[in-house]
Structure 1
């Protein structure tokens, strides 16, 4: 883990400022307004101090190793990220509780925590079937309408604490054409370790179908508050992917728009690949409804009626979504549930901190 201090990405900003700031220039002589340049550098450095980044698989050889790691057998055996504590010593952040006195759990898991510290099973009924046409309100149904969202949303496979897990993610518009957004806890275990073997499979289908290939992570980004303490208000991760067959992921599957500091509330569609019963992780599932503030007031997150289970972590929430085209604007993502309310998913508000992470990651 290293704090991002490179100023290479600031070059376009500085260049744009120094053009008009060249005063009285004559051939062979440039007079630069140093204060303007210094202010730009200071601003960029301050911005980047709020972003923590990690170098993943940079070389071609390392990327091939990561992709080779994910055999069909390993993919099939990977667990929802909410089960981290079940396969480790329980010291990790992600296995259920996030430090609020046992109140909340990462999406789904195998159960919440009752008052006695035991596990309580989640029963969300039989598997939700696909509807003949998109619904404006549902707590979980198989998406069968098609459109861009079936390509831009995908499953994530990763290794943490020596075990293999799954999450969800979405491609988003970026300068690099390589960027996906997911939950911070699908990238880094709060103040703990970074994920390894991180791979994105867009359009994942039943039986392990991979119609658009696999993409290994090059660089990972989270906000400083998430990296320091696993602050659920900042449970956002951005991942710059390597190309596959020489092609950028955006050129293969397209992207969704992304926006920050938008109006709270409103209608939203959430997508993901829940893998805990009654789901199996093989199908794209969606929830739809109006957002509401956290009633416990423990976060600035917003809630969406949603029975999706573990494995849906990091799946995109799309505002202004058009069910016919499958396009919208990513304004949040699936982050956590309170253990006494398994039918409401909460997602972080994409404010200035998330925008800063994006501004750094999109040019990585």
Structure 2
């Protein structure tokens, strides 16, 4: 589990820009790199506008998980891990490019209020770890004469499918209590059908952080996973997992884009570590 454990005060109670869907990979390990001795370590990053922190109990405060802005026609959607979400998530706050080292501008792109949460049916019903992702919808803000959405200011990453083994990804994450994010660029592999990467330094708070890869011929980034999935992201700081992004993640995305009825999510429970 790579989320910060905290008391959660949350109410219980159309297609856009994506890359093509795929079927889930076979459940088998694939070219798993060897142990920690050869594993790189994540380094402090200046951050990117699309990646930020979730605050469940007000800002400033202690952030719980990482989330990122995904490109959509509505310009108001975030991606995080399913196990990061409890209840409706309504009232939670997202701070893109959060910088706790800056007394003047800790929230350079503003503070955005979550209104709705969407998860896959298999996550909602049984917390199936191959569906450990969530899409959050945030409210717009008045800027002068117009309403602005978060993507208007930060840009958005393009929701995509799970990476093939050997795909180079960069994960940008905020560990719990950290003032700045860490990042690491490494190849992926498969463990029992779960995409994985080896890089030390991803601990509580990094859950939900995006696995970003280049899109040929574009300056945009594809998001191919989030820290989550097996053991809710991993039992150790040096190996991280994701659910395998298949057609189901796009089904959740389309529900969010169309403004369908949101979900109320039960807490994830044990990570099995």
Alignment TM-score, normalising by the size of structure 1: 0.54
In 1, the alpha carbon distance for the partners of 2:90 and 2:178 equals 20
Corresponding residue to 1:171 among 61, 66, 69:
69
In 1, the alpha carbon distance for the partners of 2:194 and 2:141 equals 35
Q: Is the 8 A contact 1:81 1:165 kept in 2?
A: no
How far residue 172 of structure 1 moved from its aligned partner, in angstroms, is 0.9
Equivalenced residue count is 214
Cα deviation per residue 1:333-354 (whole Å; 9 max; x = unaligned)? 1113443x43101111110111
Name the counterpart of 1:360.
Answer: 255
Corresponding residue to 2:210 among 306, 309, 316:
316
Name the counterpart of 1:83.
Answer: 5
- 1:43-82 alignment runs, 5 A limit: 81-82=3-4
Comparing both chains, which one has the higher relative contact order based on Cα–Cα distances under 8 Å and sequence gaps of 6 or more? 2
In 2, the alpha carbon distance for the partners of 1:321 and 1:269 equals 13
- Given the alignment of the two structures, is residue 346 of structure 1 paired with residue 241 of structure 2, yes or no? yes
- Given the alignment of the two structures, is residue 182 of structure 1 paired with residue 84 of structure 2, yes or no? no
Q: Measured at CA, do residues 261 and 284 of structure 1 come closer, stay the same or move farther in structure 2, by a change above 3 Å?
A: closer
How far residue 203 of structure 1 moved from its aligned partner, in angstroms, is 1.2
Q: Measured at CA, do residues 211 and 261 of structure 1 come closer, stay the same or move farther in structure 2, by a change above 3 Å?
A: closer
How far residue 318 of structure 1 moved from its aligned partner, in angstroms, is 0.5
Stretches of structure 2 that go unaligned for 5 or more consecutive residues are: 9-35, 260-273
Corresponding residue to 2:224 among 295, 319, 331:
331
Name the counterpart of 1:288.
Answer: 185
Corresponding residue to 2:196 among 288, 296, 303:
303
Higher helix share: 1
Q: Is the 8 A contact 1:157 1:197 kept in 2?
A: no
Q: Is the 8 A contact 1:258 1:329 kept in 2?
A: yes
- Given the alignment of the two structures, is residue 220 of structure 1 paired with residue 117 of structure 2, yes or no? yes
Cα deviation per residue 1:81-104 (whole Å; 9 max; x = unaligned)? 4424xx69xxxxxxxxxxxxxxxx
Q: Measured at CA, do residues 310 and 261 of structure 1 come closer, stay the same or move farther in structure 2, by a change above 3 Å?
A: closer
Name the counterpart of 1:150.
Answer: 48
How far residue 239 of structure 1 moved from its aligned partner, in angstroms, is 0.8
Q: CA RMSD in A?
A: 2.7
Name the counterpart of 2:92.
Answer: 198
In 1, the alpha carbon distance for the partners of 2:48 and 2:153 equals 13
Q: Is the 8 A contact 1:174 1:363 kept in 2?
A: no
In 2, the alpha carbon distance for the partners of 1:293 and 1:329 equals 19
Corresponding residue to 1:231 among 104, 122, 128:
128
Question: Moved runs in structure 1, 4+ residues, more than 6 A?
Answer: none
Q: Secondary structure at the match of 1:268?
A: strand
Alignment TM-score, normalising by the size of structure 2: 0.70
Stretches of structure 1 that go unaligned for 5 or more consecutive residues are: 1-79, 89-123, 125-136
- Given the alignment of the two structures, is residue 270 of structure 1 paired with residue 171 of structure 2, yes or no? yes
In 2, the alpha carbon distance for the partners of 1:170 and 1:337 equals 16
Q: Secondary structure at the match of 2:49?
A: helix
Q: Secondary structure at the match of 1:151?
A: coil
Larger Rg: 1
- 1:247-262 alignment runs, 5 A limit: 247-260=148-161
